Structure formats: C-alpha cells, structure tokens
C-alpha cells in the first residue's frame, strides 16, 4: 500500500464512538440529561422522533440547549431531515448556527446526496471542519454502500462515518426482528466492508428494547466481533454495556503495549516482522496497537476531565 493510500485510509482522527446515544431534539428533559451521561457521542434527532408539526419547535429547543451547554467532552451530531423534505433547508440553517461536530443524513442511497450536502457546507465559513455521517438503512443504501463510502476519498466530501439503521431495513425487506439478527448479518457486513474500504468508522444499529440489557449485550458483542466501532443507543441504560463491549479489554491493552514496545526497541529498527514469545508479529500489528492505545488515551483523558 502506498503512503498516499495510507494517508487517505486513516485521514480521520481517532475518536471514541463506543456509545452513540440518540436523543429527540423535542424532548427538553432528555436534552438536559445529556450533560451528565457517559456516552461518547450524542445524535440530536430532528427526523423520525419529531412529529411533522413540531419540527420548528424542536429546532428552537435544540439550538437553545446547544448554545447553553458544555458538551466539549463528547462528539455532537445533528440528524436532519432528508434533502427532499420541506424541513431540510431549515435544518441545515440550524446546523450552521449550532456548529456541531457532524451532521447525520438519513436514508442515504446515492453518493450524490453526500456530495450535495458537502458542497452546501463548503459555501459557509461556519461549517469549517464539520463532518458528515450517513445512515445506511434502505435496500438501495445497502446495495450502494461502497459507492457512497467512496465519496469519502475526496478531501472535500467530509464523510466520516456510516450508521446502520435496521428498523427501516427490516420494514423494507420483511426480515423479522429475531434474536441473533441471522438474516441481517450479510447486510451488516456489507456496510462494514464498504466503510472499511474507504477509511470510515461504522456504527451498529439500535437495540429497540432498552429494558432488555441482555439482548443489548448480545448485539454489542456480535457487533464488536464483526468489527463495528460502536452502537447507536436509544436510552441511557444502554451506555455502560456499549462502552464495555466496544472498549478495549485489559488483555487487549496489555497485548497492544507489548507489541508497541517491541517495535519501539532500537534492536528491531527497520524490521517489518519480529518474534515475540514464539509469535511472528508484523508491523501492521504495531499500527493496530497504536490505534488501540490512542483510544485508551482518549478514554483516560475523558475520565480525568469528567470522572
């Protein structure tokens, strides 16, 4: 892989996205609770969770909340209404006024949707550094996931992450909401592969029954095994299990430190493969270890600032 390809593939900074809580922008009580929660990121939702006749009210409540709250220790994302809806333009005006970390586009099915929003943001100085997340939640979105992800190759696309939405996909395909998500796994892996091919993070879908933490834990373990970076959540009770399952284990941290230290040893300078306790370890494992340890540092720093 060329140095140019590597710089493209890992051009996004390391971020914590183990637990991504979605909060209805219309719900003032839920908004106020956010500041005391231990989630890595918050999606403030203007779309599905807000009734048609309350969209304007939700925008007002959200802007007031963001202007008067300190959320610097976590990533803030605003999910807007789709580009073809009458709410899109006002939602984008709110995004420019609120300056979140990212804007989440629902039901993305074509690369042009991402590029059009990126072009629009590029016209405003207030949007400098603002990233785009895309929800992949329809059959067309699944089929076009690689093409959508490839739009992240351009420096001005701003595309940073995929979020899988299984509720709409189940509705469109007729696949039931069964434990284990057996018949949905191929679609989940298709989205994950597309994201990884173009250097994007990817967030697993919600677990709908927030009272069933056992089912949530099973989905988190499954999603982590698949390679997802974190999980979209609908209730604060789901935060701790998500942080646990998508965070690095003590064993993984110890292994990462062992590998990093071994490749930092001057005796191994210039080597791409070294022997550690009878195991052949490649330099790519050192790169993986560095990324894991960077996340550990982020977790530690956040705990120090917000214990």
pLDDT at 304 over 50: yes
Query: What's the pLDDT at 3?
Result: 35
pLDDT of residue 201: 96
pLDDT recorded at residue 302: 78
- The larger pLDDT score, comparing residue 114 to residue 7, is at 114
d(CA 34, CA 20): 12
135 vs 164: CA distance, rounded Å: 6
**Mean predicted confidence (pLDDT) in 187-215:** 96
Contact yes or no for 199/152 (Cβ under 8 A): yes
**Domains of the chain, start order:** 3-246 (3.20.20.60), 250-305 (no CATH)
Q: What is the pLDDT of residue 305?
A: 62
pLDDT of residue 192: 98
- pTM to 2 decimals? 0.90
User: How confident is the model over 295-303, as a mean pLDDT?
Assistant: 86
Rounded to whole angstroms, the maximal C-alpha distance in the chain is 67
Question: How confident is the model at residue 185, as a pLDDT?
Answer: 97
CB of 247 within 8 A of CB of 297?
no
pLDDT digits (tens, 9 = 90+) for 78-111: 999 999 999 999 999 999 999 999 999 999 999 9
Of the chain, the percentage scoring pLDDT greater than 90 comes to 75
């Amino acid at each position: 892989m060329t140095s140019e390809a590597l710089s493209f593939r890992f051009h996004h900074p390391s971020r914590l996205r183990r637990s991504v809580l979605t909060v209805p922008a219309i719900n003032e009580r839920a908004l106020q609770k956010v500041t005391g929660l231990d989630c890595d990121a918050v999606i403030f939702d203007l779309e599905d969770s807000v009734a048609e006749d309350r969209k304007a009210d939700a925008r007002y409540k959200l802007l007031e909340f963001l202007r008067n709250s300190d959320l610097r220790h976590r990533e803030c994302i605003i999910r807007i209404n789709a580009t073809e809806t009458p709410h899109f333009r006002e939602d984008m005006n709110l995004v420019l006024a609120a300056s979140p970390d990212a804007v989440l586009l629902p039901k993305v099915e074509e690369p042009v949707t991402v590029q059009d929003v990126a072009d629009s943001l590029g016209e405003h100085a207030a949007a400098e550094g603002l990233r785009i997340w895309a929800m992949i939640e329809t059959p067309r979105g699944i089929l076009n996931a690689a093409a959508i992800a490839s739009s992240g190759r351009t420096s001005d696309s701003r595309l940073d992450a995929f979020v899988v939405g299984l509720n709409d996909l189940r509705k469109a395909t007729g696949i039931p909401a069964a434990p284990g998500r057996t018949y949905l796994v191929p679609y989940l892996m298709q989205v994950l592969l597309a994201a990884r091919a173009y250097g994007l993070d990817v967030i697993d879908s919600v677990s709908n029954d927030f009272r069933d933490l056992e089912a949530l834990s099973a989905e988190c373990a499954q999603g982590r095994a698949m390679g997802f970076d974190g999980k979209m959540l609908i209730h604060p009770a789901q935060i701790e299990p998500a942080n646990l399952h998508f965070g690095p284990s003590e064993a993984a941290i110890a292994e990462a430190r062992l590998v990093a230290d071994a490749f930092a040893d001057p005796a191994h300078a210039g080597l791409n493969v070294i022997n550690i306790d009878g195991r052949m370890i490649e330099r790519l494992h050192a790169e993986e270890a560095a990324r894991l340890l960077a996340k550990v540092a982020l977790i530690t720093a956040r705990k120090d600032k917000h214990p």
